[in-house]
Amino acid sequence: MKSAVLPGDGIGPEIVAEALKVLERLRGNGISIETEVAAIGGAGYDVAGQPLPEATLGLARQADAVLLGAVGGPRYDALPRELRPERGILAIRKALGLFANLRPALLYPELSDASTLKAEVVAGLDLMIVRELTGDIYFGQPRGRRSNAAGEAEGFDTMLYSASEIRRIARIGFEIARKRDRRLCSVDKANVLDTSILWREEVTAAAKGYPDVELSHMYVDNAAMQLVRNPRQFDVIVTGNLFGDILSDEASMLAGSIGMLPSASLDANNKGLYEPIHGSAPDIAGQNKANPLATILSLAMMFRYTFGRPDLGARIEGAVRKVLGAGLRTADIALAGGPSIGTRQMGDAVVSALSSYP
Ligand code: IPM
Ligand code: MG
Q: Which residues are catalytic?
A: 138, 189, 221, 245, 249
Rounded distance, CA 140 to CA 90, Å?
Answer: 13
Is residue 107 located within the same domain as residue 236? yes
**Residue 273 is part of a domain; what is its CATH number?**
3.40.718.10
Rounded distance, CA 323 to CA 321, Å?
Answer: 5
| 248 CA: nearest ligand 1 atom | 10
Rounded distance, CA 35 to CA 5, Å?
Answer: 7
How many Å lie between the centroid of ligand 1 and the Cα of residue 210? 30
Is residue 241 located within the same domain as residue 279? no
Is residue 219 located within the same domain as residue 123? yes
pLDDT at 357: 54
Averaged pLDDT of the chain: 95
Last residue of a domain, one of 202, 226, 259: 259
Mutate to test the pocket of ligand 1, among 9, 89, 133, 243 (most ligand atoms within 8 A of CB): 89
Q: What is the pLDDT of residues 29-49, one digit of tens each?
A: 778 899 999 999 999 999 999
Is residue 6 located within the same domain as residue 82? yes
Is 90 near ligand 1, meaning CB less than 6 Å away? Answer: yes
Domain count, the chain: 2
Cβ–Cβ < 8 Å for 236, 128: yes
Is 89 near ligand 1, meaning CB less than 6 Å away? Answer: yes
- What ranges in the chain are assigned the alpha helix state H? 12-26, 42-48, 54-62, 85-95, 119-122, 163-178, 194-206, 220-229, 241-254, 293-305, 310-325, 343-356
Positive/negative CA dihedral, 351, 355, 357, 358? positive
Average pLDDT over every residue of 341-348: 98
By the 10 Å C-beta count (0-12 exposed, 13-18 middle, 19+ buried), 35 is classed as middle
Is residue 250 located within the same domain as residue 123? yes
Rounded distance, CA 103 to CA 105, Å?
Answer: 6
Is pLDDT at 149 greater than 70 in this prediction? Answer: yes
Cβ–Cβ < 8 Å for 222, 190: no
Is residue 144 located within the same domain as residue 250? yes
Tell me, rounded to whole angstroms, the distance of Cα 206 from its chain centroid.
25
pLDDT at 110: 83
Last residue of a domain, one of 259, 285, 302: 259
pTM (2 d.p.): 0.94
Mutate to test the pocket of ligand 1, among 82, 86, 298 (most ligand atoms within 8 A of CB): 86
Give the list of residues 6+ apart from residue 180 with CB closer than 8 angstroms, or none: 128, 235, 236
Q: What is the pLDDT of residues 174-211, one digit of tens each?
A: 999 999 999 999 999 999 999 999 999 999 999 999 99
> Going by CA atoms, what residue is nearest to atom 4 of ligand 1?
245
Is residue 114 located within the same domain as residue 224? yes
Mutate to test the pocket of ligand 1, among 52, 87, 90 (most ligand atoms within 8 A of CB): 90
Is residue 272 located within the same domain as residue 246? no
Is residue 138 located within the same domain as residue 224? yes
Is residue 11 located within the same domain as residue 140? no
Max distance between CA atoms of the chain, in angstroms, equals 70
Q: What is the pLDDT of residues 89-108, one digit of tens each?
A: 999 999 999 999 999 999 98
Q: In angstroms, how far is the first alpha carbon of the chain from the final one? A: 24
Share of the chain above pLDDT 90, in %: 87
Last residue of a domain, one of 232, 259, 286: 259
How many Å lie between the centroid of ligand 1 and the Cα of residue 329? 26
> Going by CA atoms, what residue is nearest to atom 9 of ligand 1?
277
Give the list of residues 6+ apart from residue 261 with CB closer than 8 angstroms, or none: 103, 104, 105, 248, 251, 252, 255, 276, 277, 278, 294, 297
Is residue 282 located within the same domain as residue 346? yes
Is pLDDT at 28 greater than 80 in this prediction? Answer: no
* Domain boundaries, position 179: 102-259
Is 250 near ligand 1, meaning CB less than 6 Å away? Answer: no
Is residue 323 located within the same domain as residue 202? no
Q: What is the pLDDT of residues 248-298, one digit of tens each?
A: 999 988 988 888 999 999 999 999 999 999 999 999 999 999 999 999 999
